[in-house]
Amino acid sequence: MRNPELREPANSRPALLFPGQGSQAPGMGRDLSSVVESVRSLFDEADRALGYSLSRLCFEGPEDELRLTANAQPAILTVSVAAARTLAGRGIHAGAVAGHSLGEYSALVTAGALSFQDAVVAVHKRGRYMQEAVPVGEGTMAAIMGIDMAAVEELCADATCGPSSLVEVANDNAPGQVVIAGHTSAVERAIEMAPGRGAKRAVQLPVSAPFHCSLMRPARERLEVDLKVTTFNDLEVPLVNNVEAREIRSGAEARYALIRQVTARVRWTESVRRLVEMGFTTAIEAGPGQVLAGLAKRIDRNLKVVPAGDPSGIEKAVLTIQGGSESRAGQTS
């Protein structure tokens, strides 16, 4: 049964944003779990579904083990869903959802399209498939700062030397902040060429695989098999998906978007701008860290993003939303 709270106009409530890989840190979720019983139950559910103590990794580390892709992805998902459910328990429901890469799974759980158990198992496998798609050392990623998307796309084209040494745009994070991915040799060429194209900074990232590029095709094919037998419901609120930066509401569209995103670029700049076009002025970053809040400031300052991954963040988000409810009452969907 759908939440009766969701009958009001969608953008009279905040958008909920969910972070992707890289936001993990030892200790995440620990304070929330200690004060919210339902969060503790959620971590117990994750531990049972995965067959190992994800809660211990989140609460205690070690950091190098938590950073492993197959662990980081379910860990971030669990903390993000915990934050969203804690907010819901305080009367804060999403008017729309969006997630950065991995975060789209958290968004779909919150929107009622995917069960938490199915999602935590799926992202654990997703992380393993992505790690195994390219031998360690053969692929990498880099951040290119200070030039626009067209310039980065031209840089990637010029740094590519055929199918055995290619580099592509992976993440459009914010204006002047683009991430590229591909074969290590091609990424290194792009880094060397970037200053001559006007880039303020070009730096290789400490990642173990080249995510969101065509080299991830083996991972996409393996994940597609799993997702095709996973139940997806229609969404209770719209998702702005990061493959096309458009609103979707059907479970079939959600499944297809998750399959496509493995090899496609994350269109985060466009996704945030779409939320602003939909009338949202406030969003909550539900999950560890505050990367998305920082990116939003660079994308469109008309969208205020409040990080909420721990008890103090949850409290601030609740006060922000409740304090601004009167000013949002006149908006329509």
Last residue of a domain, one of 168, 185, 207: 207
**Residue 124 lies inside a defined structural domain of this protein:** yes
On whether both 240 and 313 belong to a single domain, the answer is yes
Residue 324, pLDDT score = 55
**Residue 201 lies inside a defined structural domain of this protein:** yes
Last residue of a domain, one of 149, 183, 207: 207
For CA atoms 133, 58, 120, 81, the dihedral sign is negative
What one-character DSSP code corresponds to residue 309? S
**Residue 76 lies inside a defined structural domain of this protein:** yes
**Residue 1 lies inside a defined structural domain of this protein:** no
**Residue 301 lies inside a defined structural domain of this protein:** yes
On whether both 184 and 239 belong to a single domain, the answer is no
Residue 3, pLDDT score = 47
CATH of the domain at 237: 3.40.366.10
On whether both 120 and 249 belong to a single domain, the answer is yes
CA distance 7 to 9: 7
On whether both 229 and 82 belong to a single domain, the answer is yes
Residue 12, pLDDT score = 72
**Residue 5 lies inside a defined structural domain of this protein:** no
On whether both 63 and 189 belong to a single domain, the answer is no
Phi, psi of 250 (to 5 degrees): -100, 150
Residue 11, pLDDT score = 57
- Give 57-91 as a DSSP string: HHHH--HHHHTSHHHHHHHHHHHHHHHHHHHHHTT
**Residue 4 lies inside a defined structural domain of this protein:** no
CA distance 62 to 67: 9
Last residue of a domain, one of 188, 207, 226: 207
pLDDT in tens, the chain (333 residues): 344 444 445 557 999 999 999 899 999 999 999 999 999 999 999 999 999 999 999 999 999 999 899 999 999 999 999 999 999 999 999 999 999 999 999 999 999 999 999 999 999 999 999 999 999 889 999 999 999 999 999 999 999 999 999 999 999 999 999 999 999 999 999 999 999 999 999 999 988 899 999 999 999 999 999 999 999 999 999 999 999 999 999 999 999 999 999 999 999 999 999 999 999 999 999 999 999 999 999 999 999 999 999 999 999 999 999 875 433 322 222
Instruction: Report which residue type is found at 37.
Output: E
Q: Looking at the annotation, which residues are catalytic?
A: 101, 212
Domain tally, the chain: 2
Residues 6+ apart with CB under 8 A from 168: 156, 160, 180, 181, 182, 213, 214, 265
Range of the domain at 292: 12-133+215-328
**What percent helix, strand, coil does the chain show, rounded to 5?**
50, 15, 35
CA-wise closest residue to 155 among 205, 105, 189, 120:
189
Residue 10, pLDDT score = 54
What pTM did the predictor assign? 0.92
On whether both 246 and 308 belong to a single domain, the answer is yes
On whether both 219 and 293 belong to a single domain, the answer is yes
On whether both 154 and 294 belong to a single domain, the answer is no
Q: 3-42, pLDDT tens digit by residue?
A: 444 444 555 799 999 999 989 999 999 999 999 999 999 9
Residue pair 176/147 in contact (Cβ under 8 Å)? The answer is: yes
On whether both 234 and 298 belong to a single domain, the answer is yes
List Cα–Cα distances, 299 to 79, 102, 175, 257, 269, in angstroms.
25, 20, 6, 23, 6
On whether both 129 and 255 belong to a single domain, the answer is yes
On whether both 34 and 116 belong to a single domain, the answer is yes
On whether both 267 and 309 belong to a single domain, the answer is yes
CATH of the domain at 164: 3.30.70.250
**Residue 6 lies inside a defined structural domain of this protein:** no
